[in-house]
């Protein structure tokens, strides 16, 4: 979460949105989390290597999470955004297909609304705790030079932009929590992985595709991944974590959109 990027010019890329607000000489595409986790992790590692070998300190570089594809034609930009979000959900549909084909169904990972009265408060509490800790850790990591500057939003300001940011937060939450948390732990438990391997594996995958943010992003997401995985094994429902992730990302995107450049403590 950080103030406005150095420039709003972003162009579509096969790897996601290219942020033009990097330090001179640094122009990495932001890893697109709609990829398979392994591919995204490899892309993030390469992005970090590029950042470390660019000659610029990490804190002098920035990454945009939600950017603009076609800044001079908002009507086309929103079509790009909708297509990007829609296509990103295909891996989740594949997970649902596998669960249905095995005879388990989505209830096997708690992907339903039957217990929303307990799922929602749990998600809100997780979001408040993990989101607050995550923001503090990001600011500390940035000050210590362990993290790039996260320019969360660099989209054009249209009436639909806040809706786009919530939609982006939703698809991030669905992708990560359904695939990397719930389905990963569900299937690895079935094939005989030890509990520590299930928890550690899920957390490590989550952390690895955030390496493009720097070492702070890796460690912060590793910690969150461990907490989420431990609690998922206890609750066996993905919905609390979906709500938590949605609230964290929506709060970060909307907070940056409205506060970026207006508060002194936000880099």
Q: What is the pLDDT of residues 201-234, one digit of tens each?
A: 999 999 999 999 999 999 999 999 999 999 999 9
What is the rounded (10 degree) CA torsion for 104, 107, 108, 110? 170
Q: Domain for residue 117, yes or no?
A: yes
E strands, 9-168, are 10-13, 16-19, 62-66, 149-153
Write down the pLDDT at residue 197: 98
Q: Domain for residue 107, yes or no?
A: yes
Beta carbons of 192 and 198 less than 8 angstroms apart: no
Q: Domain for residue 160, yes or no?
A: yes
What is the rounded distance in angstroms from the CA atom of residue 185 to the CA atom of residue 133?
Answer: 24
Q: What is the pLDDT of residues 101-128, one digit of tens each?
A: 999 999 999 999 999 999 999 999 999 9
pLDDT at 6 over 60: no
CB atoms within 10 A of CB 24: 10
What is the rounded distance in angstroms from the CA atom of residue 267 to the CA atom of residue 252?
Answer: 13
Q: Domain for residue 192, yes or no?
A: yes
pLDDT at 28 over 60: no
The whole model's pTM is what?
0.82
Alpha-carbon separation of residue 117 from 125, 129, 174, 229 (angstroms): 13, 19, 19, 21
Name the more confident of 266 and 9: 266
- Domain of residue 67 covers 10-259
Q: Domain for residue 267, yes or no?
A: no
Q: Which residues contact 257 (CB under 8 A, 6 or more apart)?
A: 152, 153, 155, 161, 162, 165
Specify the number of domains making up the chain.
Answer: 1
Q: Domain for residue 41, yes or no?
A: yes
Share of the chain above pLDDT 70, in %: 85
Q: Domain for residue 4, yes or no?
A: no
Q: Domain for residue 266, yes or no?
A: no
pLDDT at 150 over 90: no
Q: What is the mean pLDDT of residues 43-67?
A: 86
């Amino acid at each position: 979460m950080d103030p406005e990027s150095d420039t709003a010019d972003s162009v579509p890329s096969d790897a996601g949105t290219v942020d033009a607000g990097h330090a001179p000489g640094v122009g990495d595409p932001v890893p697109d989390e709609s990829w398979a986790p392994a591919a995204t992790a490899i892309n993030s590692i390469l992005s970090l290597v590029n950042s470390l070998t660019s000659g610029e300190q990490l804190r002098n570089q920035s990454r945009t999470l939600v950017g603009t594809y076609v800044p001079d034609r908002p009507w086309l930009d929103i079509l790009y955004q909708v297509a990007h979000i829609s296509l990103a959900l295909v891996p989740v549909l594949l997970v649902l297909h596998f669960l249905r084909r095995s005879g388990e169904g989505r209830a096997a990972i708690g992907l339903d609304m039957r217990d929303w009265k307990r799922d929602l408060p749990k998600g809100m509490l997780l979001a408040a705790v993990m989101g607050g800790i995550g923001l503090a850790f990001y600011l500390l990591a940035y000050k210590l030079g362990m993290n790039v500057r996260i320019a969360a939003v660099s989209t054009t300001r249209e009436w639909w932009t806040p809706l786009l940011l919530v939609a982006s937060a939703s698809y991030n939450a669905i992708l990560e929590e359904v695939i990397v948390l719930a389905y990963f732990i569900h299937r690895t438990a079935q094939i005989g992985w030890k509990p520590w391997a299930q928890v550690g594996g899920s957390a490590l995958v989550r952390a690895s595709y955030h390496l493009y943010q720097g070492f702070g992003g890796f460690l912060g997401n590793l910690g969150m991944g461990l907490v989420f995985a431990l609690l998922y094994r206890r609750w066996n429902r993905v919905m609390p974590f979906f709500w938590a992730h949605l609230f964290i990302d929506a709060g970060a995107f909307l907070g940056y959109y409205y506060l970026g450049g207006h508060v002194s403590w936000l880099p």
